[in-house]
């Protein structure tokens, strides 16, 4: 059974004539007969009674007619639906962001995206970088923005922008008076840290290791699941922490947090757009990547190159 056979069947049923059905579908009468015969053979029933008054639907034919009309109606909607998809109208886009991109970068980009494509419906899920990777691989989301990437996964990454990770302490902390502290002083202070899968934790650990400090040697009084929670805990005096500079602009201006410099330690981590390797992005995802690159990228390339992206090196 195919759609063309059903079109011919409906034309004959509506006209009550094989010859008129042929005229309506622009085929020969013999072709109409072949299509009807093929349907009758497939279903094992007679669809029409051939009488002197024309082709009259049998009871089985009436059942097929109702279903066939509904099927062809839905089939007729497919081209329009695909055109809407291509034009990003009424499209559904599922994306994910790790802590900083999910809380700051992506929300700031949404007004620009929705203004250009008001019919676009966006669902944003937040987690740490490792979780975002897993969601992309399992196709729960199409595209992610992350602050870290890991080896051995079927993902492709495109550099978006860089973020500085800084050491902060609560207002009034003794380090606030110092121009700079030594790396070994970190070992004598309680820390509020992010979870192991976060990009912030990953890049902080690598930078401290270069300065001769093992992240495991820090005194951890709390491990929290979001940058916002870490910031609130530091402001409350629970401990000090390494956080994204993007996330604490207001707190630094208001004086509720102080930034602390460390001798010989500078931590910069990249943010990436991530997608599953070898998968073509939908038009909506391409629009999203283009807006993100326009707002935060270096201007070298405004969107993912379809199926031509290179996996980022894991030791970057």
Residue 312 domain-assigned (yes or no): no
- pLDDT band at residue 309 under the 50/70/90 scheme: very low
pLDDT for residue 305: 47
* Shared domain check, 262 and 168: yes
Whether 166 has a pLDDT exceeding 90, the answer reads yes
**147 or 40, higher pLDDT:** 40
* Shared domain check, 134 and 36: no
What mean pLDDT comes out for the span 82-96? Answer: 73
Question: In the structure encoding, which two tokens stand for residue 48, read together?
Answer: 């029409």
* Shared domain check, 203 and 70: no
* Shared domain check, 17 and 146: no
What mean pLDDT comes out for the span 176-201? Answer: 87
Provide the mean pLDDT of the chain.
Answer: 86
Whether 303 has a pLDDT exceeding 90, the answer reads no
CA distance 234 to 169: 6
* Shared domain check, 137 and 51: no
Whether 184 has a pLDDT exceeding 60, the answer reads yes
pTM of the model: 0.63
* Shared domain check, 138 and 50: no
Structural domain of residue 187, as residue ranges? 162-268
CA distance 110 to 143: 15
* Shared domain check, 169 and 254: yes
pLDDT for residue 312: 41
What SS3 class is residue 30?
A: helix
* Shared domain check, 246 and 177: yes
* Shared domain check, 151 and 62: no
Whether 157 has a pLDDT exceeding 60, the answer reads yes
Provide the phi-psi class of 41: left if phi over 0, else alpha when psi is between -120 and 50, else beta: alpha
What SS3 class is residue 58?
A: coil
What SS3 class is residue 48?
A: strand
* Shared domain check, 134 and 81: no
What mean pLDDT comes out for the span 95-122? Answer: 88
Question: In percent, how much of the chain has pLDDT > 70?
Answer: 89
CA distance to 149, 193, 195, 239, 266, per residue, from 236 (Å): 31, 14, 19, 8, 25
Q: Where are the alpha helices (DSSP H) in the chain?
A: 3-15, 18-25, 29-43, 59-86, 99-100, 106-116, 129-137, 199-210, 227-235, 249-254, 283-296
Query: What angle is formed at CA 78 by the lines to CA 75 and CA 83, rounded to 5 degrees?
Result: 160
Domain of residue 135, CATH code? 3.40.190.10
User: Around Cβ 203, how many Cβ atoms within 10 Å?
Assistant: 19
Can you spell out the DSSP letters for 213-237?
--GGGSEEEEEESSHHHHHHHHHTT
**Over the stretch 220-247, which tens digit does the pLDDT of each residue have?**
999 988 888 999 999 999 999 999 998 8
* Shared domain check, 134 and 53: no
Tally of structural domains, the chain: 3
């Amino acid at each position: 059974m195919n759609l063309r056979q059903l079109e011919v069947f409906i034309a004959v049923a509506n006209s009550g004539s094989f010859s008129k059905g042929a005229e309506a579908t622009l085929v020969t009468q013999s072709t109409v007969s072949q299509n009807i015969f093929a349907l009758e053979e497939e279903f094992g029933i007679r669809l029409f009674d051939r009488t002197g008054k024309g082709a009259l639907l049998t009871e089985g034919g009436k059942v097929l007619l109702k279903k066939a009309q509904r099927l062809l109606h839905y089939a007729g909607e497919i081209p329009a639906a695909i055109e809407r998809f291509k034009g990003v109208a009424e499209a559904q886009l599922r994306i994910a962001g790790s802590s900083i991109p999910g809380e700051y970068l992506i929300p700031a980009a949404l007004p620009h995206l929705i203004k250009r494509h008001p019919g676009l419906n966006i669902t944003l899920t937040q987690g740490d970088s490792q979780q975002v990777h897993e969601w992309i691989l399992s196709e729960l989301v199409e595209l992610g923005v992350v602050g870290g990437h890991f080896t051995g996964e079927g993902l492709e990454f495109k550099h978006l922008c860089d973020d500085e990770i800084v050491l902060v302490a609560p207002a009034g902390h003794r380090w606030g008076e110092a121009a700079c502290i030594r790396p070994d002083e970190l070992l004598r202070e309680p820390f509020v840290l992010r979870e192991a899968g976060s990009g912030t934790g990953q890049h902080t650990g690598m930078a401290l290791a270069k300065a001769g400090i093992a992240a495991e040697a820090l005194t951890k009084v709390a491990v929290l699941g979001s940058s916002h929670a870490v910031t609130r805990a530091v402001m409350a005096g629970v401990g000090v922490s390494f956080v994204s500079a993007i996330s604490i602009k207001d707190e630094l201006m208001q004086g509720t947090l102080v930034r602390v410099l460390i001798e010989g330690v500078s931590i910069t981590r990249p943010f990436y757009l991530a997608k599953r390797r070898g998968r073509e992005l939908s038009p909506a995802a391409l629009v999203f990547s283009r807006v993100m690159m326009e707002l935060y990228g270096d201007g070298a390339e405004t969107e993912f190159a379809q199926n031509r992206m290179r996996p980022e090196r894991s030791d970057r």
